[in-house]
Amino acid sequence: MNLPALLGGEPVRRRPFPAWPVFDAREEQLALEVLRSGQWWRYTLGETLSETHADPTAAPSKVAEFQQKFAAAHGCRYGIACVNGTAALEVALRAMGIGPGDEVIVPPYTFIATATAPMLIGATPVFCDIQLDTFNLDPARLEAAITPRTRAIVPVHFAGLAADLEPILSIAARHSLPVLEDAAHAHGGAWNAQPLGSLGAAATFSFQASKNMTAGEGGIITTNDPALAEHCESLVWVGRKTGRPWYEHHRLGWNYRLTEFQAAILLAQLERLPAQTALRQQNGARLAQLLREIPGIVPLAAPAYATGHAWHIFVFRFLADQFGLSRARFLEALAAEGIPASSGYAHPLYRNPLFAAPGLPLDYSQFVDLCPASEQACAEAVWLEHRLLLGTPEDMDDIAAAIAKIHQHRAALTKD
């Protein structure tokens, strides 16, 4: 009998999984075009709204082209590119009029930026727990988190799985609150056959290195609201205004512009996104089906409304009691079998030292009791990176075989 690799047996895999990022001659070609044009910086604002260029002799802006194509691919008229997904959240929230004294509802099971973006513009994040079966914002708990100071709701499409938007949007409408989709994980995803990123008042995406499209760093805001788009673009452009003199600054803005090099890389990444998303979907569905057969392994749910999973992360809950092994030991054994995985967020956001600092408008320790599902998610989650889903069906079978093998040998692994 083949022993677990951790106990000296042959690992299920020695071959590596696909590397990330994926790139080829297309990225090279577009990046070289920028290099050789000498036009390394997008030279004029306003393309977001008018799609015109101020200087007809200059090379067309790759940023402008990318904004237009990314927005269109995500069901939106406007895209405003910026330096990263955190900046995108800050800009979108500020353009919605949010500032000091205002509250923004966010889930606690997400990257820190979802909560710090409101703080960076003086607002207060208020945590609303997640659903344990999807790890997304729980609409059943949303209304209780709304106060007279609430100004926006920010659901995250965690791991690329659409948030439960129907009740979220209807609660938001009832309270006249805008919804900002944090779609940092959700490029190319869909909810009820509509693109993620087009369902709230605005949405934000990240192109940081780990994301499903990347230029190392980068971000974008998508919206169908022309006034909001103009405001966001102005904030990214140090408060300038389309059609107004260069040194006239109308708003307190940032220089959050994306470079032409990044846009060139992202144009190539966008071309590849549909095929990669389809492959992740096939492999994700196959792996989830295989893993559901193994005791103690619970892949996240696939609700009917999540018609297009972007599979940024393949997540399953690891129920240690049912599986018969601790999560730490399981991850050690899985790594030894040649399957890279992690336990994800170490704790819900409100447990970060940042939220224990003196002088905050809220006592964040209250959320330990208010967010039991987030606490449980942090204790049980196992994450596989999306690059694993860019492999073959046999690669998925290897992952499942490694987990089944560890389960079979759980007693020996516990003793060792």
Ligand X SMILES: Cc1ncc(COP(=O)(O)O)c(C=O)c1O
Shortest CB 92 distance to ligand X, Å: 11
CA atoms of 10 and 96, how far apart (whole Å): 56
CA atoms of 413 and 221, how far apart (whole Å): 47
Selected from 79, 160, 219, 296, the binder of ligand X by CB under 6 A is 219
**Residue 90 in the binding site for ligand X (CB under 6 A):** no
Name the one residue in this structure whose structure tokens are 């009820």. 192
CA atoms of 279 and 390, how far apart (whole Å): 6
**Residue 86 in the binding site for ligand X (CB under 6 A):** yes
Q: What is the DSSP string of 34-92?
A: HHHHT--S---S-HHHH---S-TTSPPPHHHHHHHHHHHHTT-SEEEEESBHHHHHHHH
Selected from 46, 79, 85, 253, the binder of ligand X by CB under 6 A is 85
Residues 6+ apart with CB under 8 A from 173: none
Shortest CB 205 distance to ligand X, Å: 8
CA atoms of 104 and 179, how far apart (whole Å): 10
Shortest CB 186 distance to ligand X, Å: 9
Active-site position among 62, 69, 211, 405: 211
Is the CB of 76 or the CB of 89 nearer to ligand X? 89
Is the CB of 114 or the CB of 277 nearer to ligand X? 114
How do strand 219-223 and strand 202-206 relate by DSSP bridges? antiparallel
**Residue 269 in the binding site for ligand X (CB under 6 A):** no
Residues contacting ligand X: total by CB under 6 A: 14
User: For 322, how many CA atoms within 13 A lie in the half-sphere containing its CB?
Assistant: 11
Which amino acid type is present at position 257? R
Is the CB of 136 or the CB of 406 nearer to ligand X? 136
**Residue 114 in the binding site for ligand X (CB under 6 A):** yes
Which amino acid type is present at position 133? D
Shortest CB 86 distance to ligand X, Å: 3
CA atoms of 215 and 265, how far apart (whole Å): 6
365's tokens: 């320790």
**Residue 104 in the binding site for ligand X (CB under 6 A):** no
Shortest CB 136 distance to ligand X, Å: 11
Selected from 110, 259, 262, 277, the binder of ligand X by CB under 6 A is 110
Give residues 162-201 in contact with ligand X (rule: CB under 6 A). Answer: 182, 184-185
Give residues 302-361 in contact with ligand X (rule: CB under 6 A). Answer: none
The residue sitting closest to ligand X, measured at its beta carbon, is: 85
3-state secondary structure of 395: helix
Shortest CB 245 distance to ligand X, Å: 32
Q: Is 62 a catalytic residue?
A: no
Peptide bond into 21 cis (omega under 30): yes
Give residues 117-156 in contact with ligand X (rule: CB under 6 A). Answer: 156
Among 99-107, 111-119, 143-151, 316-324, which window interacts with ligand X (CB under 6 A)? 111-119
CA atoms of 365 and 357, how far apart (whole Å): 11
Q: Which residues are catalytic?
A: 211
Which residues contribute to the site for ligand X (CB under 6 A)?
84-86, 110-111, 113-114, 156, 182, 184-185, 206, 208, 219
